[in-house]
Amino acid sequence: MKKLTTIAAGLGLAQLALISSGALAQDTTRTINSQTDLEQVVVTATRSAKRKAEVGKVVRVITSEQIQRSQGRTLPEVLNNVAGITYSGANNAQSNTSASLFLRGASAGNTLILIDGIPVNDAQSISNEYDLKSIAIDQIERVEILKGGNSTLYGSDAVAGVINIITKKPTNQDLNANVILTAGSYNANKQAIGLNGSVGKTGIAFNYSHTGSKEFSAATDAAGDKNFDRDGYDQHTLSFNGKQQLSERLSVNTNIQLSNNNGMSDGGSFADDKDYTYDRTHFFGGITGRYALENGIIIMNLSNNTVSSKFLNRPDDGSSALTTNNKGRIWQADLFVNKPLTSFLELNSGVNYRSSNSDQFSQYNAYDPEILESENAKSDISSVFTSVFLKNMGGFHLELGGRYNHHSKYGDNFTYTFNPSYLFWNRYKVFFNASSAFKAPTLYQLHSQYRNPDGNLKPEITQTYDAGLDLDIIKRKLNFNATVFQRLTKDDVIYFYSENVAPWKMYYKNGRKQNDKGLELELNAHPLQDLNISVWYSFIKGKATDENGAEIESFLRRPKNSFGWSAGYSFSKLLSFNMMYKYTGHRVDVYYEGFNRRSVDLKSYTLLDVYLQSQPIKNITFFGDFKNVLDTGYVEWAGYNTRGFNFNAGIKYLVR
């Protein structure tokens, strides 16, 4: 009865929000087409704007319309509904600091994250994985997801793919402002304000948002004593993009992304902790210069990416049981040239330099602290890359590229891309992609207390093969695509733990190999002007062996099978409706009880979400986002809670 009352109350709130004054909505409310056809323009696949028909790679786009219909969500929640992506932990408590993005089943940290085309990492973390929850959804224009190995254009860490988060840019219109207010389950609330437009030759895009919640205990109360405390979460984010047109050919863009996240944490799986707090800050700052050639463009990027984390566990007696202070810094310089050489040959070429270091301090009780200093925990990598793109040869396209890398610890290596595709009748594309990727061990794996005792940790080397087809069966009405892939990794870095053997040993070492393969199917239909339907299926299978050839556990928290669909319809110019469904298959997870490692099976589950939106007058939009409407009970991480039925309702007001 309580569940039904909650759902009814939520629907009642949405109904109030959707009451219309009878005015017509703008066309953007009715734009539900996800733009998945071959005419869609993408930039991440080749670092220059091209139609998907010309690109022989798997690229998926979360459009600005989809972002607008996701104001009650986080970026991990949005990505979790993309074929081939499992964002494990996206539906845990907001206060939980742990979550992992798995693209095509690859380990955390093997997907490179870009902000406006510039790589970002977390140099103080174990895997270099960047926390995407730190980027507020209202600061994002669109997201491009490039699947498969792409180290030739983007360097280290682009093993399973690349996710390019494109933030909101200044428009050429006069300055206007917007305000977003939301409230929902678990005391969740958000306030956001944005300013966008141009004054003369100067463009400004500014966004600030605050998000807070007081949900439930991050850890699961297995005993059922109901004495675990509720863990709160608070986030402040700021985004600034500025553009200055210095001349007809030269422009300069500045980009600042700042996020502060703090809250309560727990002691681990099934372990409550009432006084464990954290404070984490992400800073990204970059400047980009663009010079337009007669035919082509030169782009230069300079950026800094810094992440700092502070954890404090202070028991009732006032003593400091655990203190952790970490900071990781990455500086990067990138020079890139895109130049058509002939009507059928285009050149992409550039140089890149990246330097990383980390300071880390951790002390438990009165034990000697573990300390890493940036003068020791550091590395740098220099690269030069070239990719030639053959086009306008009937329906034949070919990308052929290579990248030479010099790492301060590991010396020289080379990665390549061979990517032919053919377009039949400008509607049916077939493609093949063979590529290699390089991922150096992280600073934590190399220098922490868990570093390899022999000091011979080697980088991971990966070969990836993709083949598939992308068919516009009915132009702009029905699209089907299918991809098979295989990813072969040698010297993959694994965490070794000698269970039940004293003295206990815990350190990082190289496994012998990892062999992953999979299949992705997607169908996108737009049968009516106001109706859009998408269906997808993903299968992933992997096998890992240690240095002796013995099979070891692989694909933790990653399902072999996942399936999803979404359907959007605009009933009128006043009301649009969207449903999303996802099935996540059986997975295996591990957790620790003291020094004992436990393995547990995680059952499959399904989630159904509903989103409603109305624009009763020109400058006001109401929305309601209802997640897990069937109140499904499920587990993403062993020993941690997930959200049941919950909703967010809000208003967006545009000030012109």
Instruction: Identify the band that residue 629 occupies on the pLDDT scale cut at 50, 70 and 90.
Output: very high
Are 578 and 611 spatial neighbours (Cβ–Cβ below 8 Å)?
A: yes
CA separation (Å) from 462 to 13, 36, 511? Answer: 51, 29, 13
Residues whose CB falls within 8 Å of the CB of residue 225, separated by 6 or more in sequence, listed in order: none
Mean pLDDT to the nearest integer, 256-262: 95
Lowest mean pLDDT among 334-348, 584-598, 631-645: 584-598
Over residues 410-431, the mean pLDDT reads 93
Helix or strand (DSSP H, E) at 10: helix 2-17
Provide the mean pLDDT of the chain: 87
pLDDT category at 36 given cuts 50, 70, 90 is: low
Give the tens place of pLDDT for each residue, 595-624.
Answer: 778 889 999 999 999 999 998 888 899 999
- Please report which confidence band the pLDDT of residue 11 belongs to, taking 50, 70 and 90 as the band edges: very low
Model confidence at 242: pLDDT above 70? yes
Asked if pLDDT for residue 366 goes beyond 90, the answer is no
* Contact status, residue 482 vs residue 469, Cβ threshold 8 Å: yes
Q: Which two tokens stand for residue 278?
A: 């954290």
How many angstroms separate the Cα of 150 from the Cα of each of 110, 297, 301, 439?
A: 11, 22, 19, 12
Q: Does pLDDT of 276 surpass 90?
A: no
Structure tokens at 154: 């983007």
The pLDDT assigned to 476 comes to 84
Tell me the per-residue pLDDT of 127-152, one tens digit each, with 9 for 90 and over. 899 999 999 998 999 999 999 888 88
Cα gap 508→390, rounded to integer Å: 43
At 469 the pLDDT is 95
Alpha-carbon span 218 to 579, nearest angstrom: 27
Q: Torsion-angle region of residue 367: left (phi > 0), alpha (psi -120 to 50) or beta?
A: beta
Is the model more confident about 94 or about 562?
562
pLDDT above 70: percentage of residues in the chain: 93
**Which residues have a Cβ under 8 Å from the Cβ of 252 and sit 6 or more positions away?**
243, 244, 246, 287, 288, 289, 290
Is residue 318 scored above 60 in pLDDT?
Answer: no
What are the DSSP calls for 186-253, one per residue?
GGEEEEEEEEEEEETTEEEEEEEEEEEEE---SB--TT----PPPPEEEEEEEEEEEEEE-SSSEEEE
Distance from CA of residue 226 to its chain's centroid? 34
pLDDT digits (tens, 9 = 90+) for 43-76: 888 888 888 888 888 899 999 988 988 888 899 9
How do residues 147-203 score in pLDDT, each as one tens digit? Answer: 988 888 898 889 999 999 999 999 888 899 999 999 999 889 999 999 999 998 899
pLDDT of 516: 93
Give the pLDDT confidence of 76-93 residue by residue, as tens digits: 999 999 999 999 988 988
Q: Which listed CATH number (1.25.50.10, 2.40.170.20, 3.30.420.40, 2.170.16.10) goes with 23-655?
A: 2.40.170.20
What confidence score (pLDDT) does residue 102 get? 93
pTM for this one? 0.91
Residue owning tokens 């494109």: 166
pLDDT at 151: 87
Q: Round to the nearest angstrom and report the end-to-end CA distance of the chain.
A: 45
Whole-number pLDDT of residue 488: 94
- Residue 480, pLDDT score: 95
Q: Is pLDDT of 486 > 60?
A: yes
> Residue 115 pLDDT > 60, yes or no?
yes
